[in-house]
Amino acid sequence: MAEEPEINLVDLDIYQRSGAPHDQFAWLREHAPVFWHADGGGVGWPGFWAVTKHEDVAQVTRHPEIFSSARRTAAFKEWSDLAVERMRLMMINMDPPQHTRQRSFVNRGFTPRMIGQLEEHITQICSGLLDDIAGYGEVDFVTEIAAPLPTQVICELVGAPVEDRDRIFKLSNRVVGFDDPEMVTSPADQMQAVAEMYAYAGELAERRRQQPRDDIVTQLLKPDDAGQELTTLEFNFFFLLLTVAGNETTRNAASDTGTGEPVAPITVAGTMVPGHGRSWRTAPRCRADWYG
């Protein structure tokens, strides 16, 4: 058996320096596809089993009665029993049948027709972000494109006013950056951001109930064929999950070069390419800070 390398899948410094530790995952898939990872990632956090082969992951996802997302949530952090109860209101921390019920509401809102209606607006958002950097010789792709784009698109999805986008962007950063001192100054600051996002979701839902639109939020709030509907708690927590998790995962995916190297700043070409909008060229000689 090959010599075991140092395995640490939760060291944030590794992800900041060079992205996901693909070499560790490759070794695990070949030599220890079900690996006990003793370091849970935080003080008092329990260890976990790292499952790295596709067929094993598929087996896990098909058996929530054994591998539960609801029992202690899907997060690494060890939460109090009270916090676990609250977090189970988020779809990511549910098991069937609750997860199946809520997913049916979400599927009804995110139909091809609903998404197709947004194509033109999303194209305008992308063009606007590119226009904003057109006057610069060089910009950080993560800061100027990958970070704001998901939030702006999500705000478009839920019909949030343009003037609220910057506020939602900042709140989502404070919620997801619970262990990043650049984003959150204290646990109380994070909880305040959660409360503000939760309250905003409630206000948005009430506006849609009073003035329905042909949009995703209106569809989510409608009763299903059996007359059931999302509760206020369920909708507000879904909005929180969408704006935070959708923001973070998409931002990181857009920032991942797939090579283990941080994405470099981009040199703005500034020329218009027919049919393709504003173009840019990569500048491989330069580095960028990694926010993954």
User: What tens digit of pLDDT does each residue of 72-97 get?
Assistant: 888 887 888 988 888 888 898 999 99
Q: What is the pLDDT of residues 175-215, one digit of tens each?
A: 877 666 666 667 788 889 889 999 999 999 999 999 998 88
pLDDT beyond 60 at 249:
yes
Is pLDDT of 268 > 70?
no
Given a cut of 50, is residue 287 above it in pLDDT?
no
The type of residue at 111 is: T
**Percentage, residues of the chain above pLDDT 90:** 27
**The pLDDT of residue 288:** 30
| DSSP letter, residue 261 | S
Q: Which CATH class is domain 103-282?
A: mainly alpha
The domain ranges of the chain are 12-62, 103-282
Q: What is the pLDDT of residue 278?
A: 36
Sign, CA torsion 133/136/138/140? negative
Quick one: DSSP state of residue 146?
I
| pLDDT cut 70: percent of the chain above it | 84
- Please give the structure tokens belonging to residue 275: 């049919």
Of the candidates 43, 53, 262, the residue with the CA atom closest to the CA atom of residue 143: 262
For residue 90, the model assigns a pLDDT of 87
pLDDT tens column, 14-63: 887 888 899 999 999 999 999 999 988 888 888 999 999 999 999 999 99
CA 107 to chain centre: 18
Question: 111 CB contacts (<8 Å, ≥6 apart)?
Answer: 219
Assess whether pLDDT exceeds 90 at residue 265.
no
Cβ-based neighbour number of residue 285 at 10 Å: 8
Instruction: Give one word for 244, left, alpha or beta, with left for phi > 0 and alpha for psi -120 to 50.
Output: alpha
What pLDDT is stored for residue 286 in this prediction?
A: 29
CA-based nearest residue to 238, from 91, 73, 87, 83: 91
pLDDT at 270 > cutoff 90: no
Banded model confidence at residue 280, pLDDT cuts 50, 70, 90? very low
Q: Is the pLDDT of residue 292 over 70?
A: no
